[in-house]
Amino acid sequence: MKFTEEHEWLEVEDDLVVVGITEHASEQLGDIVFVEVPEAGTTVTKGDEVVVIESVKAASDILAPLDGEIVEANGALEENPGLVNEDPTGKGWFFKMKVEDLSALDDYMDEAEYKDFIG
């Protein structure tokens, strides 16, 4: 698993990258009441806003961590946004994407570096 400074986690699953937010981020947001995920087939560029989250505390956008194509979105979150709080690194994933170059993941933190980052 790799981690971004925006508190996203990235995990390679076969030839796809699964993206979600960390437990730290879900705790900071509080109870999540709404999630809008992107449609499959959407092409994104690193930094594009791809997911909208609303919690009792704030509204946030999740940015694309890499260039690629969204191939699957977690539609369960639209009916049950609380999955992000219950299981942020499991059932609370946002989307899966196909990327051209998996080596781009090397730019992100590993778990130890992320733990130091959130200190």
User: Which run of H or of E encompasses 112?
Assistant: helix 111-118
- State how many domains the chain has: 1
Dist CA 75 CA 26 (whole Å) = 18
Whether 39 is in a domain gets the answer yes
Each residue of 93-111: pLDDT tens digit? Answer: 999 999 988 999 999 999 9
Task: Bin 79: left if φ > 0, else alpha if -120 < ψ < 50, else beta.
Answer: alpha
Domain limits for position 71: 2-100
Whether 118 is in a domain gets the answer no
Give 17's pLDDT tier (boundaries 50, 70, 90). very high
Single-letter amino acid code for the residue at 110: D
Each residue of 55-70: pLDDT tens digit? Answer: 998 899 999 999 999 9
pTM of the model: 0.94
The Cα angle at residue 7 between residues 106 and 89, in degrees rounded to 5? 90
What's the pLDDT score for residue 58?
87
Whether 23 is in a domain gets the answer yes
Q: DSSP alpha helices (H): ranges in 37-105?
A: 76-79, 83-86
